[in-house]
Structures are given as structure tokens and as C-alpha cells.
């Protein structure tokens, strides 16, 4: 007989008792993926990783795993609210933290989702796993600074306080060599004034 003791349905973690011994299991759910834990780790795991006490008895691992999969999929179908996201991020274990950071760096940053990234990273700074690991803490701090810079630059650009276009002499190095800096000065003036055709001007003026 297997007794389900605790679970965090959103990320799939569960603690199971079998024959007086405690085990953790997480997706992908397979019996060989269970890991033995000591009794004292049960209480700290519930407190640290946000597992909630649950109850349920199962005849075998097959029926338990079927139940865990169903609950995991049901939880994933529900759109997480802000409070649940905050809880997950602040109590995530180390491997989940690494996944969050990879997704921020490779998904949120390229799509310029600076505010979402900054929000997640801010909550990660409160995570005990991050606080204890200096390397992870350094990475979180670096990415947070990058997210804040991206957000600030975007705000400045929207307010018209930042010119995000590269200098013309970098874009048109050949023009500068052939016609000199006066051509680029005219180009900069057209860029500032938003005119495609500047009337009454010439390169020789």
C-alpha cells in the first residue's frame, strides 16, 4: 500500500510513503525515478518547496502514478495567478531555478519581455536556494540588472528620450568615403526631421 503524503501539483513534486519509508517523485513519473528521503526531510521539504499536505492510498505504483499525472495535467491547465507564481518561484528547488533562468535568458529576453523577466527574477532573490548559492545568486543578479536595463531603455525610447538607431557613418561607411561627412550630416538631418526628400538642399550647399 502506498500513501500520498504531500504534493505541489503545479510542478509535479510529491512525497509518498511505502512500507514506512518516504520517497519523492516528480515528472516524468516512473517508479524508478523515486528517491528515498529521511523523515526529517519531509517537514523541511514541505516548508521549503511549497508542498501541501495531501492524502490518498493506492494499491500500487501504477495507480499512484496515474493519479499524479492526472493532477499534474489538471493543475497545468489552470492559468496560474500572481500569488501562485510568486509562491512557485520563491520556493522552487535548484533544478527548477536553473530552468527559470534558462527560459528568462533564452525566451523572455529575445522577445523583449523585460517586465515579466524582472518580476520573476525579483522573486527569485527571495528563494532560499538562490540565497545559499553564490553562483546562482550572481546569475540572478546579473540577469535582473539586464532586465532592468532593457526595461529602462524601452521606456526611454517610448518617451522619445533615446535614439536607438545606429550612427549613419556605421551604416553607410562607403558613402562617407565617397562623398565625405557632409552627406552624412544631411542624412542625420533628414532622419531627425523625418523627411524622406529634403527640398532645396544639395550636397554642395
Most confidently modeled range among 3-12, 41-50, 161-170: 3-12
Residue 18 vs residues 8, 30, 56: alpha-carbon distances, Å: 19, 15, 12
Summarize the confidence of residues 93-103 as an average pLDDT. 89
Per-residue pLDDT tens over the stretch 5-41: 988 887 788 899 999 899 989 888 888 888 888 887 7
Q: Which residue has the higher pLDDT, 169 or 5?
A: 5
**pLDDT for 182:** 58
Phi, psi of 57 (to 5 degrees): -115, 140
pTM exceeds 0.85: no
**pLDDT for 50:** 65
Burial 147-169 (b: 16+ CB within 10 A, else e): bbebbeeeeeeeeeeeeeeeebe
Residues of the chain above pLDDT 70, percent: 70
Of the candidates 192, 175, 50, the residue with the CA atom closest to the CA atom of residue 123: 50
Amino acid at each position: 500500500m502506498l500513501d500520498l503524503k504531500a504534493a505541489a501539483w503545479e510542478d509535479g513534486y510529491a512525497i509518498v510513503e511505502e512500507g514506512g519509508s518516504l520517497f519523492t517523485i516528480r515528472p516524468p513519473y516512473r517508479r524508478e525515478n523515486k528517491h528515498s528521503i529521511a523523515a526529517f526531510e519531509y517537514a523541511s521539504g514541505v516548508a521549503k518547496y511549497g508542498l501541501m499536505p495531501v492524502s490518498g492510498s493506492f494499491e500500487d505504483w501504477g495507480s499512484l502514478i496515474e493519479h499524479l499525472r492526472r493532477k499534474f495535467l489538471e493543475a497545468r491547465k489552470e492559468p496560474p495567478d500572481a500569488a501562485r507564481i510568486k509562491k512557485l518561484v520563491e520556493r522552487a528547488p535548484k533544478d527548477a531555478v536553473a530552468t527559470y533562468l534558462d527560459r528568462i535568458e533564452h525566451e523572455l529576453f529575445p522577445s523583449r519581455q523585460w517586465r515579466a523577466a524582472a518580476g520573476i527574477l525579483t522573486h527569485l532573490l527571495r528563494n532560499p536556494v538562490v540565497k545559499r548559492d553564490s553562483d546562482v545568486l550572481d546569475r540572478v543578479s546579473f540577469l535582473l540588472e539586464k532586465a532592468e536595463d532593457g526595461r529602462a531603455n524601452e521606456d526611454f525610447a517610448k518617451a522619445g528620450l533615446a535614439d536607438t538607431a545606429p550612427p549613419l557613418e556605421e551604416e553607410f561607411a562607403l558613402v562617407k568615403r565617397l562623398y565625405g561627412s557632409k552627406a552624412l550630416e544631411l542624412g542625420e538631418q533628414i532622419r531627425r526631421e523625418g523627411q524622406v526628400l529634403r527640398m532645396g538642399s544639395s550636397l554642395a550647399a
